[in-house]
């Protein structure tokens, strides 16, 4: 497998450091608000990476942290009249609700910042003793950026460029404007912990260095997160961890791209900020997950509700094909005819294509394309009378179903019962369009009565009324069947 390594700015062959063991750390949320679509994308990306590595047979230890003390948490807690602990615990709980809906696997280890203060104090003391950090009279502790020779190697920035825009803010006691906080002296009314430098709390960057080092031996195989974390957060993590230990922190640095809203950066000030719940109030969670996989993880993802509707059509098509294929297999009486070699070759080519796509920097977009190749092949077999009644056709359908289910398990989609999913999707679409299913049933029944009475003019009127509502009715030997267009 080849992964793009931000540190080297190129794809590299991924081989774990220690045999079959893969150690992976990803930065988690700062727990002060509901998760937005950017959190969803990052969570899905690293969930698929973990699933795929395990699919390949690796023994993966996945660590993802929670930042449960931070300026944002303290400020929001003060605004809402609760403690920082209460606020963080609330939104950690809400995180799990959202991630469970998106079929995100739990990490193996999920450390919280506040449960690892001793490790953070110890790391800070080590950096001071090695000359990489210093304490100020007020009780702040700063990392000396210029003391770490490799600073900037992840982001590609150099000290001179950073220096040109850096300033020491009033009240700060930094020696150098580039230096960043390891430990912050507590302000009146803020949560604090006792330390050698007085009452205070850890800086954001320090948290991940201390927690990752506690649970994973350095260097671990993969460090992940959103593209926005590469600087300064991940750059500062490298400086802290490598300056304190003399060891490389992580071998591969994997970053997912930004989410844009209608080609603009998502922000509350622009009014284009969407939480996961804003989206799954209107669409099924699996539709959102599928949409997030339709673009390569490193590329910018342009979100719009129109794009989500297109994704909904795609996932609906797959589930409908799965249902039809499963039903055909249950009903079939098979002749001894074999599957034509060209179709066998197309299936094998799609299987190889899927594997190649996932091996090439986890290209889920290309992998989905090969999945749709199999869905089209299943349809071609169904349309060919001789094939759909042959043992060769049966075997092809069985193989296609196994492939789609297996690949879906890696991607975290197409794991539901097709009928359950399609029924849920129908209800979701009705609610989004403000249509009551009882009203539809009433109109369908009225149309059926009109047809029985040979009142075809009235039947056509009702059909047109249903079409205006976005409902299509198909007449089958078992009776009328309706669906949302």
Does a structural domain hold residue 139?
A: no
Predicted pLDDT at 476: 85
- Does one domain contain both 354 and 255? no
Element spanning 5, H or E = strand 2-5
Cβ distance 6 to 255 under 8 Å? yes
- pLDDT > 80? residue 265: no
Decide if 396 contacts 343 (C-beta within 8 A): yes
Tell me, yes or no, whether 18 lies in a domain: yes
Q: Is 169 domain-assigned? A: no
**What local confidence, expressed as pLDDT, does residue 262 receive?**
79
Mean pLDDT of 435-450: 90
pLDDT, averaged across the chain: 94
- Is the pLDDT confidence value at 268 over 80? no
Q: Is residue 113 very low, low, confident or very high in pLDDT (cuts 50, 70, 90)?
A: very high
Same domain, 238 and 327: no
Question: Residue 136, class by beta-carbon neighbours within 10 Å (0-12 exposed, 13-18 middle, 19+ buried)?
Answer: middle
Q: What is the pLDDT of residues 4-54, one digit of tens each?
A: 999 999 999 999 999 999 999 999 999 999 999 999 999 999 999 999 999
Average pLDDT score over residue span 235-248 = 98
Query: 108 and 224: one domain?
Result: yes
Q: How many CB atoms lie within 10 A of CB 416?
A: 17
Q: How confident is the model at residue 162 (pLDDT cuts 50, 70, 90)?
A: confident
Q: Where do runs of H (alpha helix) occur along 332-436?
A: 341-359, 364-383, 385-388, 391-411, 418-432
Q: Do 199 and 193 touch, CB atoms closer than 8 A?
A: yes
pLDDT at 475: 86
Burial label for 57, CB within 10 Å (0-12, 13-18, 19+), is exposed
* H/E stretch holding 323: helix 305-331
Which residue among 239, 258, 277 closes a domain? 277
* Residue 193 within any structural domain of the chain: no
> Which pLDDT tens digit goes with each residue over 320-363?
999 999 999 998 789 888 999 999 999 999 999 999 999 999 99
Listed residue (106, 110, 89) closest to 211, CA to CA: 110
Residue 382 belongs to a domain: yes
CA distance 15 to 2: 9
Give the span between the Cα atoms of 77 and 237, in whole angstroms: 27
Assess whether 269 and 361 both reside in one domain: no
Same structural domain for residues 354 and 385?
yes
Coil, strand, or helix at residue 365? helix
Q: Kindly report the CATH number assigned to the domain that includes residue 339.
A: 1.20.120.640
Considering the domain architecture, whether residues 341 and 408 belong to the same structural domain is answered as yes
In this structure, the answer to whether residues 445 and 371 fall within a common structural domain is no
CATH number at 90 reads 3.40.50.620
Say how many domains are in the chain: 3
* Nearest partner of 393 among 352, 346, 339, judged by Cα: 339
Residue 437: the pLDDT is 87
Give the closest residue to 45 by CA, choosing from 236, 294, 260: 294
Average pLDDT over residues 351-379: 98
Examine residue 412 and state whether it is found in any structural domain, yes or no.
Answer: yes
pLDDT at 92: 98
pLDDT of residue 247: 97
Residue 470 structural domain = 433-484
Whether residue 268 is found in the same domain as residue 396:
no
What's the average model confidence in pLDDT over 431-443? Answer: 90
158 pLDDT more than 90:
no
Asked if 316 and 410 sit in the same domain, the reply is yes
pLDDT of residue 170: 67
In a domain, 182, yes or no: no
């Amino acid at each position: 497998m080849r992964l793009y390594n931000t540190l080297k700015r190129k794809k590299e062959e991924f081989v774990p450091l220690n045999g079959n063991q893969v150690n992976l750390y990803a930065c988690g949320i700062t727990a002060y608000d509901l998760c937005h679509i950017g959190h969803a994308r990052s969570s899905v990306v690293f969930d698929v990476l973990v699933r795929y590595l395990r699919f390949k047979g690796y023994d993966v230890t996945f660590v993802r942290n929670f930042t449960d003390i931070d300026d944002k948490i303290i400020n929001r807690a003060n605004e809402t009249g609760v403690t920082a602990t209460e606020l963080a615990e609330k939104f950690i709980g809400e995180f799990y609700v959202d991630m469970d809906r998106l079929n995100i696997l739990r990490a193996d280890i999920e450390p919280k910042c506040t449960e690892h203060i001793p490790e953070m104090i110890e790391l800070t003391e080590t950096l001071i003793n090695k000359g990489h950090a210093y304490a100020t009279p007020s009780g702040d502790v700063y990392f000396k950026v210029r003391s770490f020779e490799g600073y900037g190697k992840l982001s590609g920035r150099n000290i001179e460029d950073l220096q040109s825009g850096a300033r020491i803010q009033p009240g700060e006691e930094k020696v150098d404007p580039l230096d960043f906080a390891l430990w912050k002296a507590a302000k009146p009314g803020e949560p604090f912990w006792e330390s050698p430098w007085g009452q205070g709390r850890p800086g954001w960057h320090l948290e991940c260095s201390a927690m990752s080092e506690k649970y994973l031996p350095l260097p671990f195989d993969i460090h992940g997160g959103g593209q926005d974390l590469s600087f300064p957060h991940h750059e500062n993590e490298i400086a802290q961890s490598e300056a304190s230990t003399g060891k490389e922190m992580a071998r591969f640095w994997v970053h997912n791209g930004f989410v844009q809203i209608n080609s603009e950066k998502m922000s509350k000030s622009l009014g284009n900020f969407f939480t996961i719940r804003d989206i799954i109030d209107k669409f099924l969670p699996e539709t959102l997950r599928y949409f997030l996989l339709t673009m390569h993880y490193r590329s910018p993802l342009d979100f719009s509700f129109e794009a989500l509707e297109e994704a909904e059509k795609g996932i609906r098509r797959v589930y409908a094909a799965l249902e039809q294929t499963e039903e055909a297999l249950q009903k079939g009486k098979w002749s001894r005819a074999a599957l034509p070699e060209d179709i066998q070759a197309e299936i094998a080519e799609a299987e190889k294509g899927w594997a190649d796509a996932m091996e090439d920097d986890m290209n889920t977009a290309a992998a989905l394309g090969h999945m749709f190749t199999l869905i089209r092949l299943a349809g071609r077999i169904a349309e060919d009378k001789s094939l759909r009644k042959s043992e060769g056709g049966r075997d092809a359908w069985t193989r296609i179903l196994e492939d789609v289910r297996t690949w879906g398990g890696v991607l975290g989609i197409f794991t539901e019962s097709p009928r359950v999913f399609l029924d849920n999707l129908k209800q979701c679409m009705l609610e989004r369009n403000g249509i009551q299913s009882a009203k539809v049933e009433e109109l369908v029944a009225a149309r059926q009565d009109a047809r029985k009475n040979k009142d075809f003019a009235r039947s056509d009127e009702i059909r047109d009324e249903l079409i205006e509502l976005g409902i299509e009715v198909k007449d089958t030997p078992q009776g009328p069947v309706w669906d949302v267009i």
